[in-house]
């Protein structure tokens, strides 16, 4: 059965109003998924098992961007998951997207990251904050054909977003941008950037503006793939590179919002991004647990399978609890979006994924250190989730800040 037909039979082609995005909407959290959410979870899990998992190691080792899986994911509608149906999207809620990212990441962490960043950082921003003209240019094709990117970090500004030095200068009805962005995931394959520049560095966060930039604009230069240990590297299936802007001229209509609103826009989008990275981390952790259980069932030591060795059984139990804890806090963040909840989800999910992957390597023993087995890949992938989308140190500070704010204790 064709993927699109399958979507229609599972009632995902026209997404029900029960699953409208929950941003700004009151909802009591429950661990019970709706029928539509369960359908998405099952559909994507089966897809990942059949089409992603068998090739994940190959894509990782040979640095092959997953073009064919991404094409299939586009056909499923997941590259326009939360976008309005008027622009070719599926109109899903954030939890449904998080479920999809988790299952994709369970099959292939690189593919899960590509889908997460495209949706949570690029597509949702244009869908929710773009003008009708911007949606025609930067949303419609991106729900079906193109990949979008998010260019925020710079050589001297990562966590410190207010320290951005890319300049935006007004010139008549245009803006001229100059600067350099680092770690731009999907930039080599993407067709447009959400990027941020300052109209005056002295204004810090009050001077930031958000722009939509076609990557084929004159003055855009993409550098070589970055070489990093985790999924978003030249040595892995997902790619990241430096993007340089030299006298890039953009019409005034390509600015999202108004000058000075860029910081707020970036922070609101990062709240979403942390949900995506948390779901990504849960998928990696679940895959590491799957790998450890599969190996422990087959490996015999002291005359019995490793699953009957007390120390291994204890590790598997600990892994299970870490995965479920991360999953629950991630789902909570997806249905009750706030800076505190998304930061808490990313902190716990990233930390737990790293711990689960470490247990996986330990259970596999020598094979856990070998690049010929999945444990080593899970270990690298899990570590990255504690960095991109905001380092764990900052997530912890955010949780503490909003906790004390809630109790009027700042």
DSSP string, 118-143: IIIIIIHHHHHH--HHHHHHHTTGGG
Residues 283 and 387 in one domain: yes
Quick one: average pLDDT of 155-174?
89
Residues 338 and 389 in one domain: yes
Tell me the pairing of strands 148-151 and 192-198: parallel
Summarize pLDDT for 241-250 with one digit per residue, the tens.
999 999 999 9
Residues 290 and 246 in one domain: no
Of 192, 221, 178, the closest CA to residue 130 belongs to: 192
Whichever domain contains 18, its CATH number is 1.10.540.10
**95 pLDDT higher than 60:** yes
Overall size of the chain counted in residues: 410
Residue of higher predicted confidence among 410 and 23 = 410
Residues 52 and 27 in one domain: yes
Angle (deg, nearest 10), helices 67-76 and 109-116: 50
Summarize pLDDT for 50-66 with one digit per residue, the tens.
999 998 888 777 777 88
Residues 157 and 108 in one domain: no
Whichever domain contains 212, its CATH number is 2.40.110.10
Under a CB-based contact definition with an 8 Å cutoff, are residues 78 and 90 in contact?
yes
Residues 18 and 129 in one domain: yes
Q: What is the mean pLDDT of the chain?
A: 90
Of 382, 177, 394, the closest CA to residue 282 belongs to: 382
Angle (deg, nearest 10), helices 53-61 and 374-384: 80
Under a CB-based contact definition with an 8 Å cutoff, are residues 151 and 193 in contact?
yes
pLDDT of residue 1: 43
Of 246, 248, 262, 245, the closest CA to residue 174 belongs to: 248
**382 pLDDT higher than 90:** yes
- pTM score: 0.90
6: confidence class by pLDDT, cuts 50, 70, 90: very low
Rounded CA gap, 167 and 184, in Å? 18
Under a CB-based contact definition with an 8 Å cutoff, are residues 212 and 138 in contact?
yes
Residues 153 and 137 in one domain: no
Residues 274 and 401 in one domain: yes
Q: How many folded domains does the chain comprise?
A: 3
Whichever domain contains 327, its CATH number is 1.20.140.10
**113 pLDDT higher than 80:** yes
Summarize pLDDT for 177-199 with one digit per residue, the tens.
999 999 899 899 999 999 999 99
Tokens coding 176: 């001229």
158: confidence class by pLDDT, cuts 50, 70, 90: confident
**222 pLDDT higher than 70:** yes
| Last residue within a domain, chosen from 143, 164, 180 | 143
- Inter-CA distances, 331 with 37, 108, 219, Å: 12, 20, 41
Residues 79 and 177 in one domain: no
Under a CB-based contact definition with an 8 Å cutoff, are residues 356 and 319 in contact?
yes
**234 pLDDT higher than 90:** no
Residues 212 and 298 in one domain: no
Residues 152 and 138 in one domain: no
Q: How many CB atoms lie within 10 A of CB 313?
A: 13
| Last residue within a domain, chosen from 219, 237, 263 | 263
Residues 223 and 298 in one domain: no
**226 pLDDT higher than 80:** no
Summarize pLDDT for 275-299 with one digit per residue, the tens.
999 999 999 999 999 999 999 999 9
385 lies in which domain range?
A: 269-406
| Last residue within a domain, chosen from 97, 112, 143 | 143
Tokens coding 151: 């260019």
């Amino acid at each position: 059965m064709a993927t699109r037909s399958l979507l229609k039979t599972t009632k995902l082609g026209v997404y029900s109003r029960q699953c409208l995005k929950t941003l700004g909407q009151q909802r009591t959290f429950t661990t019970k998924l709706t029928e539509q959410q369960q359908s998405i979870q099952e559909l994507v899990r089966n897809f990942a098992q059949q089409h992603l998992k068998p090739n994940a190691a190959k894509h990782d080792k040979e640095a092959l961007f997953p073009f064919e899986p991404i094409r299939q994911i586009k056909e499923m509608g997941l590259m326009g998951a939360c976008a309005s149906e008027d622009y070719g999207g599926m109109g899903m809620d954030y939890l449904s997207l998080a479920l999809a990212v988790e299952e994709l990441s369970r099959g292939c962490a690189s593919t899960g990251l590509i889908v997460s960043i495209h949706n949570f950082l690029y597509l949702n921003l244009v869908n929710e904050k773009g003008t009708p003209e911007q949606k025609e240019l930067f949303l419609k094709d991106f729900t079906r054909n193109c990949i979008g990117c998010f260019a925020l970090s710079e050589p001297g500004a990562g966590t410190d977003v207010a320290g951005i030095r890319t300049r935006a200068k007004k010139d008549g009805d245009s803006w001229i941008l100059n600067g350099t962005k680092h770690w731009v995931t999907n930039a080599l394959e993407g067709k447009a950037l959400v990027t941020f520049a300052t109209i005056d560095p002295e204004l810090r966060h009050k001077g930031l503006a958000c722009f939509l930039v076609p990557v084929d604009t004159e003055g855009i230069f993409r550098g070589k793939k970055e070489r990093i240990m985790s999924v978003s590297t030249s040595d892995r299936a997902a790619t990241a590179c430096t993007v340089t802007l030299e006298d890039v001229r953009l019409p005034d209509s390509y600015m999202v919002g108004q000058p000075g609103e860029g910081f707020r826009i970036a922070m609101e989008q990062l709240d979403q991004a942390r949900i995506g990275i948390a779901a990504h981390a849960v998928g990696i952790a679940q895959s590491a647990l799957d790998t450890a259980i599969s190996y422990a069932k087959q490996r015999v030591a002291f005359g019995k399978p490793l699953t009957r060795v007390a120390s291994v059984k204890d590790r598997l139990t600990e892994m299970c609890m870490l995965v479920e804890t991360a999953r629950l806090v991630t789902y909570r963040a997806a249905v009750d979006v706030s800076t505190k909840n998304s930061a808490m989800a990313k902190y716990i999910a990233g930390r737990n994924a790293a711990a689960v992957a470490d247990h996986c390597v330990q259970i596999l023993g020598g094979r856990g250190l070998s690049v010929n087995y999945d444990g080593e890949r899970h270990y690298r992938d899990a570590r990255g989730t504690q960095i991109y989308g905001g380092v764990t140190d900052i997530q912890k500070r955010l949780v503490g800040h909003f906790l004390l704010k809630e109790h009027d204790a700042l």
